[in-house]
Amino acid sequence: MATDIERIRRQITTLMACHTPEELAKRLEQRTENVPPRVPGGSRISPSAIERRWSLLGDRGDGVRDAILDSWALEHAGGFERNIEQYIGTAKIPIGLAGPLRINGLFGQGDYYFPLATTEAALVASYSRGAALITEAGGCASMMVGDGVARTPGFAFANLEQVGRFVLWLTANMDQLKRIGEGTTRYGTLVETRLTIEGNHVYLSLEYRTGDAAGQNMVTIATQAIFDHILANCPIKPAQAYVEANASGDKKATMQALVLGRGRKVTSEITLTADLVRRRLHTTPEQMSRYWQMSALGGVLSGGIGVQGHYANGLAALFIACGQDVACVAEAAVGVTRFEVTSDGDLYAAVTLPNMVVGTVGGGTALPSQKACLELLGLSGASHGHRFAELCGGVCLAGELSIIGALAAGEFSRAHARLARGKRIAATPAPEPGDADSAARSDPDDEHV
């Protein structure tokens, strides 16, 4: 987190040109006078409660309130009570339709047109191009190969002797702890426990299968029951204890999540012929593989966790559209992309995502727009959690093929300029573009990044 000294000096010079040192110090002081009223809290949504919240904001100009609290947001307000507190309206994010994407999965089989909610121009076009390419090639294999969502309570003791006795008690009582945790849910199953001892601290990782739900709330409630039982019944009392000790990897990118996984682990692959790569991506398998090699090293040099191009783009847009917890993109976007040239000169491409915390029931999946997007996919409700995860893998594979193809072909900037700014710029020639099909180059649906 260090900052270059010259940058600091420039910043100080800029500030000192406007303020004296005394004025700057005054601006940073805590101020307790004239504290404005708090926002009326709770999840209660009624016209009067909404009005009280808006009254705090005063006159913000024409159209501000109407843009956030339009007639639809007011009419459907009651349906949001389990998903939001201190409600004042809704944010409108455009949804684009990408595809078709053919998934040949262990759980999901079919051709999907998938919704992406985003404000980033070129994103839907990019994923749609990659999806259509996958479909033209016969579809991608997509496998959900594991699932489990963890919570990790932490316990602090006076010394290692207490730690040892605590661990002995835990190991002797795990069957009972498992029954207590699973007794809080109809769908959750405690499948794995791990202990980490660090000095006089103990981290207890509890990993659950969560059915068709993403399961964040499910595992929290189950872990709380286990945690409470430990504190009430274990003869070795910790000095401090916390139901989550920040060791689960919840909503953050971690090496633990990359290696062990959290949520549903998915891997997806496809082999594309050299001819198809040349016609649709305007480059060659060799050039895409070379780009991947350099980008993999670039990821290592920059300290990235995993190696991938832009999983977060597609996942965030899909999560918003389909009612997932968008903050889980922080961990879901950890993974590995790999491109190789086969012995036949074709392109092998694979993505592995070990942290897909997704579901088709619970959370935001029952909200009107989000439920509609899941129904559009045919994945709303029970029995679809694994299918949705396999779709996420295919979506990420589509995005990787499209963006790396564009970078290898020298078309990355052109598409962004045209779609985001309405301008056309000349493409940078790729080092080895191959004999790209001229008709494909002129097709606007084939030049999107």
Query: What is the tally of structural domains in the chain?
Result: 2
- Check whether 432 has a pLDDT greater than 70: no
- Tell which of 199, 217, 242 closes a domain: 242
Which are the contacts of 51, defined by CB distance < 8 A and separation ≥ 6?
Answer: none
In a domain, residue 64? The reply is no
Structural domain boundaries, residue 338: 95-144+259-446
Alpha-carbon distance of 449 to 204, in angstroms, equals 44
Average pLDDT, the chain: 91
Which entry of 120, 244, 269, 346 is annotated as an active-site residue? 120
Q: Are residues 222 and 178 in the same domain?
A: yes
Which entry of 212, 250, 325, 446 is annotated as an active-site residue? 325
Q: Are residues 267 and 380 in the same domain?
A: yes
Q: Are residues 284 and 352 in the same domain?
A: yes
In a domain, residue 199? The reply is yes
Alpha-carbon distance of 258 to 265, in angstroms, equals 10
Supply the pLDDT for residue 43.
79
| Residue 100 φ/ψ, nearest 5 degrees | -80, 155
Mean pLDDT across the stretch 308-323? 97
- Check whether 445 has a pLDDT greater than 90: no
Q: Are residues 348 and 226 in the same domain?
A: no
- Tell which of 242, 270, 296 closes a domain: 242
Is residue 221 classed exposed, middle or buried when 0-12, 13-18 and 19+ CB atoms within 10 A define those classes? middle
Using alpha carbons only, give the angle 418, 299, 119 rounded to the nearest 5 degrees: 35
Check which CATH number belongs to the domain holding 140 and give it. 3.90.770.10
Q: Are residues 212 and 344 in the same domain?
A: no
In a domain, residue 299? The reply is yes
In a domain, residue 48? The reply is no
What's the pLDDT tens digit per position in 326-379? 999 999 999 999 999 999 999 999 999 999 999 999 999 999 999 999 999 999
pLDDT-derived band of residue 449, with 50, 70 and 90 as boundaries?
A: low
Q: Are residues 210 and 296 in the same domain?
A: no
Give the orientation angle of helix 385-409 with respect to helix 412-421, to 10 degrees.
110
Are the C-beta atoms of 237 and 163 separated by less than 8 Å? Answer: no
In a domain, residue 83? The reply is no
Supply the pLDDT for residue 169.
98
Q: Are residues 284 and 374 in the same domain?
A: yes
pLDDT-derived band of residue 63, with 50, 70 and 90 as boundaries?
A: confident
Q: Are residues 429 and 307 in the same domain?
A: yes
In a domain, residue 319? The reply is yes
- Lowest mean pLDDT: which of 33-47, 78-92, 166-180, 388-402? 33-47
Which entry of 331, 416, 446, 448 is annotated as an active-site residue? 416
Which two structure tokens, joined as six digits, stand for 57? 């904001």
- Name the residue type at position 149: V
- Tell which of 214, 242, 270 closes a domain: 242
Supply the pLDDT for residue 290.
98
What's the pLDDT tens digit per position in 130-139? 999 999 999 9
Q: Are residues 289 and 399 in the same domain?
A: yes
pLDDT-derived band of residue 441, with 50, 70 and 90 as boundaries?
A: very low
Q: Are residues 157 and 140 in the same domain?
A: no
- Check whether 446 has a pLDDT greater than 90: no
Check which CATH number belongs to the domain holding 195 and give it. 3.30.70.420
Is 120 in the active site? yes
Q: Which of 387, 371, 311, 374 is nearest to 107 (CA)?
A: 387
In a domain, residue 403? The reply is yes
- Name the residue type at position 423: K
Q: Which of 314, 307, 323 is nearest to 253 (CA)?
A: 307
Supply the pLDDT for residue 422.
66
Alpha-carbon distance of 309 to 299, in angstroms, equals 9
Which are the contacts of 375, defined by CB distance < 8 A and separation ≥ 6?
Answer: none
What's the pLDDT tens digit per position in 144-157? 999 999 999 999 99
Q: Are residues 340 and 361 in the same domain?
A: yes
Distances (CA, A) of 154 to 181, 209, 216, 383: 17, 21, 18, 34
In a domain, residue 8? The reply is no
Q: Are residues 349 and 437 in the same domain?
A: yes
Supply the pLDDT for residue 412.
84
List residues bridging with 103 in a β-sheet. Answer: 110, 140
